[in-house]
Amino acid sequence: SPWKPLLLLLSPPAFSTTCARCAKDRRLREKRAISERQLTRYFVDQRKVRVVGGQGGAGGHSFYSEPRKVFGGPDGGNGGDGGHVIFKADQQMKSLSSVFPFYQGFHGKRGGSKNCYGANGAHMYVKVPLGTLVKEDGKVVADLTQHGEEYIAAYGGAGGKGNRFFLSNENRAPTVFTPGEPGQERLLHLELKTTAHAGLVGFPNAGKSSLLRAISRAKPAVAAYPFTTLNPHVGIVHYQDFEQVAVADIPGLIKGAHQNRGLGMAFLKHIERCRFLLYVVDLSVPQPWIQLQDLKHELEAYEKGLSERPRVVIGNKFDLAQSRINLPLLRERIAERVIALSALTGDNLEELLSHLRELYDTYVKTEQSQGQSPVKW
């Protein structure tokens, strides 16, 4: 009918592009906040891995034959080599949680006729974080600290020989060929030591996580109970000249941590890779200088000389009245520089950031003078 086009124009469409209920939400969804206890499932700093290299391909067994050339001789090619299993350091990886307990390289292909060699098996690359130690039977066999650094964990087996390889004047028609060799098999232990420029060291509830939140974009869990942080967090401090300083929040230490008390030695090893230390003490507690003595004792008991690295003492919670009383007493009893601040209110964070940059610049100059490349983030 002549009214049909008009009815089609007036009728509502089958779907709506403007209805909030029907339209597709194109906004990016924010990442859901993950609790610290859930986050421990994603942070793994130890793994046992069995690695097996790919098996080499068997040698070929054939004889060349075509019209008017029946006795062309042996033409079986060699098999391809098996692929290696290679650990490769990647700065995008922050945990060993994505590393599987077993890896095997790809097998080589069998040798073909007409002297065709079999294809080599592809290598199996396993990405690991920077600072990964590879141990075998308790001995360190590799230390992957630079981006792109590789370590061949298991070699692939050599390919077998085809019957063409055994051709000689004494044996003009060899029928012998060899199978490919099996790949190397090893049981390795991977151990991650967080690589950061600075390490926040302090007792539980000293305010390390709050301080890391204040100076970087890291968001470790913060709560008013001990051992809130259950795994190390690394925050990046950005400066105007585009330099980046990595600061690691090491979970709280207690007395006897070097004897595996509390969180124990599980996180003391993460302090080994820090180039300089930031001791965080709670100024509001009685005698805060005793906290500093205990922290140094734990570090020194774990590794001699660890507590003497370039360092600065941070007196946190300066916004409290008791902290203002304890600050001059603390400065009288220790020789290190004390920076009093409040991670909660942000007071005096500029002094910390300025001194942190001084420590970083000194570290860079020292590494360059020794002909080494400093760690960059």
Q: Which domains does the chain have, with CATH numbers?
A: 44-193 (2.70.210.12), 198-370 (3.40.50.300)
- pLDDT value at residue 343: 85
Q: How many CA atoms lie within 13 A of 142 on its CB side?
A: 19
- pLDDT value at residue 234: 78
Which among 253, 231, 252, 248 is positioned nearest to 45, based on CA atoms? 231
**Cα gap 28→74, rounded to integer Å:** 65
- pLDDT value at residue 231: 60
- pLDDT value at residue 267: 62
**Cα gap 201→254, rounded to integer Å:** 11
- CA dihedral of residues 35, 203, 236, 28 (deg, nearest 10): 10
- pLDDT value at residue 214: 85
Q: Are 154 and 186 in contact (CB under 8 A)?
A: yes
**Cα gap 194→329, rounded to integer Å:** 34
**pTM here?**
0.65
Burial of 39 per CB tally in 10 Å (0-12, 13-18, 19+):
middle
Beta 139-144 vs 124-128: how paired, if at all? unpaired
- pLDDT value at residue 242: 85
Q: Are 31 and 155 in contact (CB under 8 A)?
A: no
Q: Who contacts 106 (Cβ-Cβ below 8 Å, separation ≥6)? A: 54, 82, 83, 121, 122, 123, 124
- pLDDT value at residue 123: 94
- pLDDT value at residue 247: 86
Low-confidence ranges of the chain (pLDDT < 70): 1-43, 218-232, 252-267, 377
Which among 226, 233, 259 is positioned nearest to 40, based on CA atoms? 233
